[in-house]
Structure 1
């Protein structure tokens, strides 16, 4: 049986010591999408790379998007591709909604 669920890759820079960031992000995404992802792979790289790919397609890259994103934004980006009808709970709140409280 072939697993049709998407493969998520997190490529991180070993020179920058970003393995802890990559493993934390993998944990966050696996916890949120445990039934929707077929695999999560950590891919060692160099040169300041930190990129998240879904089935080979870049979802977020430090190179093109500049600064690091937070877990909530990355969860929204992944959700929009694999489970667009899923609610993400508190991760869905926009900063302006939180300031209205």
Structure 2
């Protein structure tokens, strides 16, 4: 069974479009690895969380910022398909020389 992602967002803060964009990016990148992405309005003001099979992998309040797409894709990849290349969105290996 493929894992599911839930993006919980504060509707009063106007974060639906941000959540929808993140969902689109995840579904496009992990179309063969995910069972689906659910958008869920939160009852908690200021909340923005991303969960993978009920494990919170990103929390705006805990982490102190919104995830950027690259960061979120890396976190999801590390959990659902560690061998998957994310192309230009991949983190640089430790000790690799800077791009010229």
Provide the rounded CA distance (Å) in 2 between the counterparts of 1:89 and 1:39: 22
> In the alignment, what sits opposite 1:19?
16
> In the alignment, what sits opposite 1:9?
6
Moved over 3 A (4+): none
The offset of 1:39, in angstroms, is 1.4
The offset of 1:63, in angstroms, is 1.2
| TM-score normalised per structure 2 | 0.90
> In the alignment, what sits opposite 1:78?
76
The offset of 1:93, in angstroms, is 4.4
Long gaps (5+) in structure 1: none
**Aligned alpha-carbon RMSD (Å):** 1.8
Provide the rounded CA distance (Å) in 1 between the counterparts of 2:75 and 2:69: 10
> Between Structure 1 and Structure 2, how many residues are aligned?
97
Provide the rounded CA distance (Å) in 1 between the counterparts of 2:83 and 2:91: 16
| TM-score normalised per structure 1 | 0.89
SS in 2 for 1:60: strand
Long gaps (5+) in structure 2: none
SS in 2 for 1:24: helix
